[in-house]
């Protein structure tokens, strides 16, 4: 991975941490994420309940265009996606997810 890619990833991880903190959640980047077996994930966010959530952060220039289109077309709160023989995934705006962790979504 090149320096520009590492920098882009680190910026995105810091953005996630900062947005979590705006929702009054404890959040931190994982030191040396991806470079060690000691710690997993890129960012750890702690919910108000005390549960720790481990996040993998992926940023693509246009790689998730269809997911955004589905959410926007239906003005949906969340999107459920799935692949054959895999568990379904829920995709929702990060701010809404952090509100849920902070106990403020209603």
Per residue in 27-82, pLDDT (tens digit) is 999 987 666 666 789 999 999 999 999 999 999 988 899 999 998 887 789 999 99
pTM to 2 decimal places: 0.85
CATH number of 3-101: 3.40.1350
Residue 27's DSSP bridge partners are: 45
* Residue 32: other Cβ atoms inside 10 A: 9
Checking if the pLDDT of 104 tops 80, the result is: yes
Q: Quote the tokens at residue 22.
A: 């705006």
Q: Kindly list the distances between the CA atom of residue 82 and the CA atoms of 7, 21, 52, 58, 74, in Å, as whole numbers in the listed order.
A: 31, 30, 25, 18, 18
């Amino acid at each position: 991975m090149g320096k520009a890619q590492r920098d882009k990833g680190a910026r995105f991880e810091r953005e996630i941490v900062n947005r979590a903190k705006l929702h009054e959640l404890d959040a931190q980047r994982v030191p040396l994420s991806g470079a060690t077996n000691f710690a997993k994930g890129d960012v750890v966010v702690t919910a108000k309940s005390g549960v720790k959530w481990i996040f993998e952060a992926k940023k693509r220039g246009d790689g998730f265009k269809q997911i955004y289109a589905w959410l926007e077309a239906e003005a949906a709160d969340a999107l459920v996606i799935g692949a054959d023989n895999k568990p379904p995934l829920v995709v929702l705006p990060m701010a809404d997810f952090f509100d849920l962790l902070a106990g403020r979504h209603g």
